[in-house]
Amino acid sequence: MREMAIETEQKSPSDGKVWGFFKLPFRQSGNNTSTTSSSSSASNLHGQSQPHVEGSNQHGSTNSVSSVAKSLLPTRRRLKLDPANKLYFPYEPGKQVRSAVRIKNTSKSYTAFKFQTTAPKSCFMRPPGAILAPGESIIATVFKFVEPPENSEKPMDQKRKVKFKIMSLKVKGPMDYVPELFDEQKDQVAIEQILRVVFLYPGRSCPALEKLKRQLADADAALEARKKPPEDAGPRIIGEGLVIDEWKERRERYLAQQQVEGVDSA
């Protein structure tokens, strides 16, 4: 009996140790299970909600990427300007000076262009706008009043004050130009170029000044040609093969009259 009691006493601590040994893992496993289950449920919730978030982000990112891509694409120009991005003016303070720019329609459709400036009281273009057929070109003259410098003002300071802009608009076909075309179709208007002012000293010869003189001469010649009435190209043709010739009509009436008088006398 005593030995049994001793064995029992010896087993009970061992049993306690054994249970204590196994209880600890079961407690940890329970915690791990709850932790794992909670993390898995959180991941499941995250997984369930993730597609919607990803989809919305993808849609937003697609829009942002497309907008950025459009902004980076070069603008398709309808007009070619010469000079490309500058307006050369003789620097003569206190006088009205002129510049010139050749505008050519390089597109395959009729195109209207319009001139704008930040100083409409002292600057204007002739013509202020027009409609060009495909491949057609025109030399426009820009007038500007050069203000005398104030105190220590430099020509560079005056150049920054005034800006010029050429805009274009695709039109259906040949028509009369009216500025309201650009107001009615604002969404279709394209800014072709913003031109900056460059002053040239008249007493200093340079290629840009010589080119400006040639362009101004061409512009003046084109203006005089438009003022002249169309030359008479001879008899007018109405319809097909019908020629109006006053001398021929008089001769035919005279011969007819002679025939009538000859019949009456007979």
Q: What is the pLDDT of residues 171-212, one digit of tens each?
A: 998 999 998 999 999 999 999 999 999 999 998 999 999 999
pLDDT confidence of residue 190: 93
Q: Is the pLDDT of residue 126 over 60?
A: yes
**Is the pLDDT assigned to residue 140 strictly greater than 70?**
yes
Let me know: does 202 contact 90? Beta carbons within 8 Å: yes
Given a cut of 80, whether residue 81 has pLDDT beyond it is: yes
Average pLDDT, the chain: 74
Decide if pLDDT at 214 tops 80: yes
Mean per-residue pLDDT, 78-93? 93
Using 50, 70 and 90 to split pLDDT, how confident is the model at 246?
low
User: pLDDT confidence of 223, banded at 50, 70, 90?
Assistant: confident
Classify each residue of 226-254 as buried b or exposed e, where b means 16 or more C-beta atoms within 10 Å of its C-beta.
Answer: eeeeeeeeeeeeeeeeeeeeeeeeeeeee
> 0.75 exceeded by the pTM?
no
Strand spans (E) along the chain: 79-82, 86-90, 96-105, 111-117, 123-126, 129-132, 137-145, 164-170, 190-200, 237-238, 242-243
Cβ contact 89:159 at 8 Å: no
Which 3 state secondary structure label does DSSP give 229? coil
Provide the 3-class DSSP secondary structure of residue 50: helix
